[in-house]
Amino acid sequence: MVENVKELLRAHEGLKREVYLDIENSSWVPEEVVKAMLPFYGERAYGNPTLTHKLGWEAFETIMEETKKVANFLGCKNVEEINYTPGETEANNLALIGTAFSKKSLGKKIVISEIEPISVLHVTELLQKYGFTTTKISVDREGLINLEELEKIVDKETILVSLSAVNNEIGTIQPIKEACKIVKEKNSESIFHTDASDAYGKIPFKVQDFCVDLATISSYKILGPRGIGVLYVKEGVGVERILEGQIGTQKLWPGVENTPLIVGFTKASELAFQDFRGNVNHMRKLRDKLIGGIFERVPDVKLNGPKGEKRAPDNVNISFLRCEGEALTIELSLSGVYVSSGSACTRRLLQPSHVLVAIGRRFEEAHGSILMKTTRYHQEEDIEYVLDVLPKAVERLRGITGTTRVD
């Protein structure tokens, strides 16, 4: 395995151009964000924010000031509603497990959609071992949840509903505000959680406008540092701590707060929101250029997810028929274009993406899908390079397989 990786890396030597579109799985950290973090690794505020000395006080003050900014971006009432975690996965675990055990005396029913992220799906499977039940709402061919079905499913036994604001794979923007209203009307005791990691910085999202109780945010999805995320917990909503240890400035996630990463996440948020409309329009323009160019230059392709305003401005997910997605990611990588396969094989599983299956894609269509995401830093020249490289890569792989054209 190691030798195979070394050989692949050697094949990349001498690349003249590189375009990174795999924001779904990780991202680079812009220079402005790195510069904002660096002083907190050794020059200032590197103390434990709970300790009573100068560097601890500095760290505490820094975290409070940064958290005020994050709370403002999210539309929170106060900083106590912000809880830092090591990332999106941990925030989703805290939201679902913490709520389930906090509300278990009221019921055992949890409602999610068919296309929730793995960190939600797997947690609900875990909770079933403790007596909780999971009901999944279906979605249409664009990935939109069925609100009528939601209304029928939610009952007095429902303690938690978790629906992502934007689907991470196909970019579907869900009617979260309407869904939350339905849930609260059917059962005012139900807690409504949304994974807003692909909404934050991409679509207008204020927690009070959407009336959600809990919301997950990921740092790297807005080009912030990895290793930091946020769980918004509405004032008055009970969530049990799922880890034990030293309690710092926040009560739901024990341990010493990572001041540099909090600063980096806040800086990334500032950059995302300082020209929000301009950033979103730029990402959408590049998204449409990439989708349109692929459909013009590559036959036998299918767009996964909705078109236009119902789709996140950065999301491009396309199935290339008669082409295996993992092979295409490698082929593109050799030309300096970095994407991810829409297939769940990238997670060491042998089945296609559950999201693509839920919207009606066949096995071979799901395995031939590619996910790409644009950012405010990408330029039209980057997309043009991708549109030059990608058709050649697809043609070559289709030539190797020798399969016939799909009508």
What is the DSSP secondary-structure string of 65-95?
Answer: HHHHHHHHHHT-SSGGGEEEESSHHHHHHHH
Torsion of CA 119, 120, 123, 128, to 10 degrees: -150
What gap in Å lies between CA 81 and CA 399, rounded to an integer? 55
Query: In angstroms, rounded to a whole number, what is the distance separating the alpha carbons of residues 123 and 111?
Result: 12
Active-site annotation holds for 211 = no
Q: Which residue has the tokens 């399969």?
A: 403
| CA distances (Å), origin 171, targets 241, 308, 311, 347, 375 | 31, 11, 5, 19, 14
User: Which tokens hold the place of 145?
Assistant: 């949840």
How do strand 229-233 and strand 82-85 relate by DSSP bridges? Answer: antiparallel
Amino acid sitting at position 201: G
Active-site position among 180, 211, 323, 345: 345
Angle in degrees, CA 137, 138, 142, rounded to 5: 130
Q: Give me the helices (H) in 187-233, please.
A: 207-210
Single-letter amino acid code for the residue at 361: R
- Residues taking part in catalysis: 345
